[in-house]
Amino acid sequence: MLLLIILSTFLVSFISFIGIITLFIKEKLLNKILLFLVSLSAGALMGGAFLHLIPESLGKFTESILFIYVLVGFTLLFFIERILHWRHCHKENCPIHTFAYTNLIGDGVHNFIDGLIIAASFLVNIHLGIVTTLAVALHEIPQELGDFGILIYAGFSKSRALFLNFIVAITAILGGIIGYFISSAEISTNFLLPLAAGGFIYIAASDLIPEIKKEVKFKNSLINLCFFIIGILIIYGVRFIE
C-alpha cells in the first residue's frame, strides 16, 4: 500500500511540470482553456467531497461530529489562505501572487496536506484513494499552470520556475509517507477524510466557482457548466471500477 501511496503522490507532484506548456500557448487561448479546467476541477472536488469522502466518513463518526470536522476543514483552508496570503488564482496578473515566495510556502503546505489526505484515503480502501488522487490531480492542473506563469511573471527563469514548482510539489510525497506511518502506528487518520471534504468544498466554492462565474458569454458559461458536471461524473464513475 505504501508503494501505491508514493506512486499516487508522485504522479500528482509530476503535474507541476505541466506549467511548461504555458510558454507555447497564446494568453487568450490559455485563459479560455484554464477556465474549462477550473470548471472540471471544481466539479471533481465537489464530487469527491459529497459523493465519496463524506459518505465514507458516516460510519466512523456521529453526524454532529462528522460535520464539525467538515467545517474545521473548510475553516482550516480559509485560515491557511488568509495567513499565508495565498489564493488559487489562475491568471498571471493576479495581484496576490506578486508574493512569489509566500505563494510557494503556501503551496508546499497545501501539497503536504494533500499527501496526508491521499494516504488516509488509500488506507480506507483503494477506490477512495483513487477518487481522492483524481480530485487532487484535476485541481492541480489549473493551479500548476497558473503558478508557473506567476513565477515567470515574478522574474524567475523558466528552469528555475520549473525546479521550484517541482520541489514544492513533492511535499505531497512526504505527506503521503508520513500519513502512511502515522496510520501504521495505529494513530487514527479517519478525521482526515471529513477535513479533506471541507477543504475540497472550500477550494471549489471560494476559489474556483467565483472564477467560473466571471464568464459573461452564455456559450462559454454553458461549456463551463458541462465541464463542471463532467468533473462530478468522473468522480462518480470511479465507484464502478473493479
The domain spans of the chain are: 2-13+24-240
pLDDT, averaged across the chain: 81
Q: What is the pLDDT along the chain (242 residues), one digit of tens a residue?
A: 889 999 999 999 988 888 777 777 777 777 778 788 888 888 988 998 999 889 888 888 888 899 999 999 899 888 877 775 545 454 445 543 444 665 676 677 778 888 998 998 998 889 889 988 998 888 778 777 766 766 766 677 778 888 888 898 999 999 999 989 987 766 777 788 898 889 889 888 987 888 889 888 899 899 999 999 998 998 888 766 54
Which amino acid is residue 76, in one-letter code? L
- pLDDT computed for residue 170 by the predictor: 92
Question: Measured between alpha carbons, how far is 58 from 153 in angstroms, rounded to an integer?
Answer: 45
pLDDT score, position 3: 92
pLDDT at 85 (0 to 100): 55
pLDDT of residue 208: 82
Query: How much is the pLDDT for 63?
Result: 84
Q: Which of 154, 111, 106, 155 is nearest to 14 (CA)?
A: 111
Q: Which residue carries 491568471 as its cell? A: 91
- The residue behind cell 505563494 is 103
**Whole-prediction pTM:** 0.73
* The three three-digit cell numbers of residue 198, written as one number: 471541507
The b/e string for 121-132 (b: 16+ C-beta within 10 A; e otherwise) is: bbbbeebbbbbb
